[in-house]
Amino acid sequence: MRAWFALVNLAILVSGLLSSPIRAQEVEKPLPEFASFVAEVKSRLHMNQSLLKNYTYQQRNIQKHLDKNGRVKKVETSLYEIFPDADPELTYRRLVEKDGKRVPERELTKQLRDYEKRRAKKDKKRLESDAKADEKAKNEEREAIDEAFRLFEIVMEGREMIDGRPTIRFSFKPKPGVKAKSSEGKTLLKFAGHAWFDEAFYEMVRVEAEAIKDVSFGFGLLAKLHKGSKGLFERRLFNNEVWLPSTTRFSGSLRLMLVKGMRMEVTDQYFDYRKFSVETSVSYDKE
């Protein structure tokens, strides 16, 4: 999953799926100079985790199980409340609703107790200060972004309108013969697609990627994502201050644990963002 989020968060590369028609005057307007625009984009790229740690929010997960003909066999929905932590492993994800039904109080209490146990265990093993951990995360983020730019051929294709805002569309595909240094980079090389960036803010608005090869996780023992599977990632400007995830979507076929094959469409919707504070951080055990 980390590799997939790396793909979705790093993609300076992504597609044109649901775009509005381009107006005539925008077609005539020259595109930005490639190098300077990409430099601005790169300076603003951040892993979503580094931004999300400042906000509480809700996440609705919708899983559609499909038959071999693409017809929906089963739909499962889950609603989570998310309380962030500087350490992603300690972010508290509380399941509050399952298939339209509120989770019972006893289950909410159990989730909180399990989280507190996990946090206490983690705190005992923590050797670095939060400041050092943050700096390490930032360094890893910069390295991942630099590698993504190194691995792909990136082409500026044109200007398109998304939600009434002009964006610049890029395509991306792996460079022939390029080698990845990290495991996440090796996964990235199995995808190609397009990306849109807001022309005024240089922020990533949409990413679309398609697996051009089968993608194995855990040497294929845990899962295998089949060639042709597609992913969509969208961000929106919230409160006129920050760009945050609004939708992610996966559609395709995969195999789990060498045995179980399935076709699925999985959508995550992110909403109700609120600035994280001490008050919100201690309120998750209150109903």
Mean of the pLDDT values across residues 200-209? 95
Mean of the pLDDT values across residues 191-203? 96
Phi, psi of 30 (to 5 degrees): -60, 145
Please report how many Cα atoms fall inside a 13 Å half-sphere around the Cα of residue 148, on the Cβ side.
29
Q: Are strands 191-198 and 165-174 parallel, antiparallel or unpaired?
A: antiparallel
* DSSP assignment letter at 30: P
Is 11's pLDDT higher than 60?
no
How far is it, in rounded angstroms, from Cα 70 to Cα 17? 20
In a domain, 286, yes or no: no
Lowest mean pLDDT among 4-13, 42-51, 77-86, 137-146: 4-13
Q: What is the CA radius of gyration of the chain?
A: 20
Mean of the pLDDT values across residues 60-73? 92
Is 15's pLDDT higher than 90?
no
Mean pLDDT of the chain: 82
Kindly report, residue by residue over 112-127, the tens digit of the pLDDT. Answer: 999 999 888 877 666 5
Give pLDDT, residue 6.
45
Q: Which residue has the higher pLDDT, 136 or 94?
A: 94
Residue at token pair 């999985």: 266
In a domain, 12, yes or no: yes
pLDDT band of 12, cuts 50, 70, 90: very low
In a domain, 249, yes or no: yes
Count of domains in the chain?
Answer: 1
Mean of the pLDDT values across residues 25-48? 81
Q: Which residue has the higher pLDDT, 112 or 278?
A: 112
Lowest mean pLDDT among 58-62, 86-90, 115-119, 218-222: 218-222
Kindly report, residue by residue over 152-181, the tens digit of the pLDDT. Answer: 999 999 999 999 999 999 999 999 999 998
Lowest mean pLDDT among 106-120, 186-200, 267-281: 267-281
In a domain, 188, yes or no: yes
In a domain, 30, yes or no: yes
In a domain, 287, yes or no: no
Q: Residue 106 is part of which domain span?
A: 2-281
Mean of the pLDDT values across residues 181-205? 94
Mean of the pLDDT values across residues 53-74? 91
Amino acid identity of 77?
T
Report the candidate in 221, 163, 152 with the shortest Cα–Cα distance to residue 196.
163
Tell me if 60 sits within 8 A of 77, measured CB to CB: yes
**Two tokens at 255?**
């195999």
Confidence (pTM): 0.78
How far is it, in rounded angstroms, from Cα 74 to Cα 67? 9
Lowest mean pLDDT among 17-26, 204-213, 253-262: 17-26
Give pLDDT, residue 83.
93
